[in-house]
Chain A
Amino acid sequence: MLSEAQIRSVALFYFYVLLDENQALDWTLKSLRQCLKSLGSESESDSRATSLIVHHTHLGWKKIIQNKATLSASIVHEAAFVIPPSLDLGVWKQFRKDADGEEFLAVIWSKILGFSDQEIATGLGVSLGTVRYRVGRGLRHLGSLKQLR
């Protein structure tokens, strides 16, 4: 079973990817089903479960970007996701539009959802250095966009 924090992470991942409440919930359910199927009845460690979340959300992302209309028609609602009033999502939207996909995802997993680099690396099947490289580049890109604002 997945913990509440892990379920929340999946929901937030799709919120930041799609910026659309309804679609985020739909994709969250899809990915959670896949995660539960992969987990089976065995009780896995949190680290293993997190890696599975990374894996399945990455697959979900690939499916989403195949349908570009989904991203372009994104609308933010605030009923299901509580967004702080001071938060400017315009920067994030720009970052989502401009950034490399893998760097974009690495920032979400590592710096927003708080997954460890090792869990991300395991979930994606890449090296630890690759994950850190993507996160560093993504952060510099995001920070520069923020500075421009």
Chain B
Amino acid sequence: MKKRRKLSRFLCQEMMYDYVSGHLDSERQEAMDEYLADCSESRMELAALREGLTFCHELSKVEVARPALEQIRSNKTLFQQMVETMDWRKWPDMARWTAEAFLISLVLALMVIFIPWNDLLEWSGRRTKELVLAEVKDLPSGESQQVEGPVSGETEEEGEKSEEDRASASEEVVSSEPASEPAAEPPSEAVASPPEKAEASEPALKGEIYRAFMNLANVDEVAGSVTEKIVALGGEKAGEVPLGWMRPQGAYYHFTLPEANYDELASGLRGIGPVRIFKNPHWRVMPPGQIRFILWLERVEKEEPPPSEPSSAATDEVSEVLAQDPSQ
């Protein structure tokens, strides 16, 4: 027969709660009974434990008042209350579908308004080709009036300089005048704009300018006589350079002339060689009885046969582009 192990006070204390609650097996239960019979201190501890159990039983009789319990049950956070109130699943079908449709419309509208579609399309390379016709910058009306008014001061100087620069740069003959002169800069800046668009912002071409071109082998010889002829007819230099400004490619004349002497000048030039005279519209309005004239004597090689002597009709071809009205 197995000898039963005698309990110590420590073991008795450790097993006392299980002893009271009936969790010990019968062998341990008997051992505890035997030990408690001999140990008064352990019996006092057992009594205290049972006293504690009794007191806990009394404490468990404390009740939560019904109002307090209801308060606890009904107490919800503000968020919970909002969620319950807004719970769309409790809405009528009609209201729910209406709300959904409105929400979708709102989202689409916000997407259309706030998403930079142009940038996205450009980024994705699917943007249609777009040509900027004109970018117009308004200027004060005073500047516009100054351009359209009589020629004077700095504006004229700049215009002349532009003409002279062009003459010195190349022999390129430009028959359309307005875009070449800085002073003729319109009050609006036109970029890659079609003519109709540009004209809309440019000053009206109310004046005229005569341009004459001659191809001569003996420019150096005749330049002086041409200058004398112009001066004799009342011509005065209009730009910064002197009359008969010699350039490697030829001689340049920019002058004003009494209108009455135009025929005489033309015939004089015709006597030197074939001449082509163009009359172009120009923004600059000359005083009555005065005309502005640009003459270019182009130096050509001597070996080359001179240009065919133009017939009187061809020689006197005056392409009077009487485009006083730009719309014509």
By a beta-carbon cutoff of 8 Å, the part of chain A in contact with chain B is: 4, 7-8, 11-12, 15-16, 21, 25, 28-29, 32-33, 79-84, 86-87, 91-92, 107, 111-114, 132-133, 135-136, 138-144, 146-147
Contacts and interface: CB of A to CB of B under 8 A. Distances in A.
Contact of A146 (B45, B52, B71): B52
A143 B51 contact: yes
B68 A11 contact: yes
Interface of B: 13-14, 16-18, 23, 45, 47-65, 67-69, 71-73, 75, 77
Given A33-B77, A132-B23, 18 more contacts: A11-B68, A15-B62, A25-B72, A29-B72, A80-B67, A81-B62, A81-B63, A82-B62, A87-B59, A87-B61, A92-B59, A112-B56, A136-B16, A139-B52, A140-B49, A142-B52, A142-B56, A143-B55
Nearest to A92: B59
B65 A79 contact: yes
B41 to A, nearest CB: 12
A94 to B, nearest CB: 12
Contact of B53 (A28, A32, A139): A139
Contacts of B49: 136, 139-140, 143
A114 to B, nearest CB: 7
Instruction: Classify the interface of chain B: helix, strand, loop or mixed.
Output: helix
A28 B52 contact: no
Contacts of B17: 132-133, 135-136, 139
Contact of B51 (A15, A29, A146): A146
Contacts of A29: 72, 75
A132 B68 contact: no
13 contacts: A8-B63, A79-B65, A80-B64, A81-B63, A82-B63, A82-B64, A84-B61, A136-B49, A139-B17, A143-B51, A146-B48, A147-B47, A147-B48
A147 B48 CA distance: 7
A25 B68 contact: yes
Instruction: Classify the interface of chain A: helix, strand, loop or mixed.
Output: helix
A82 B178 CA distance: 104
Nearest to B48: A143
B84 to A, nearest CB: 14
Nearest to B56: A111
Contact of A140 (B18, B48, B59, B77): B48
Most buried by A among B13, B52, B58: B52
Contacts of A87: 58-59, 61-62
B293 to A, nearest CB: 97
Contact of B60 (A32, A79, A114): A114
B72 A143 contact: no
Given A80-B64, A87-B61, A8 B69 contact: yes
Contacts of A147: 47-48, 51
A91 B16 contact: no
A8 B64 CA distance: 6
A112 B59 contact: yes
Contacts of B47: 143, 147
A91 B52 CA distance: 10
A70 to B, nearest CB: 19
Give the 9 A-B CB pairs with smallest separation, nearest first: A136-B17, A143-B52, A143-B48, A143-B51, A80-B68, A139-B52, A111-B56, A142-B52, A82-B63
Contacts of B71: 25, 80
Contacts of A25: 68, 71-72
Contacts of B51: 142-144, 146-147
Contacts of A146: 48, 51-52, 54-55
B62 A111 contact: no
Nearest to A128: B23
Nearest to B61: A84
B62 A84 contact: yes
Given A32-B72, A82-B63, A140 B14 contact: no
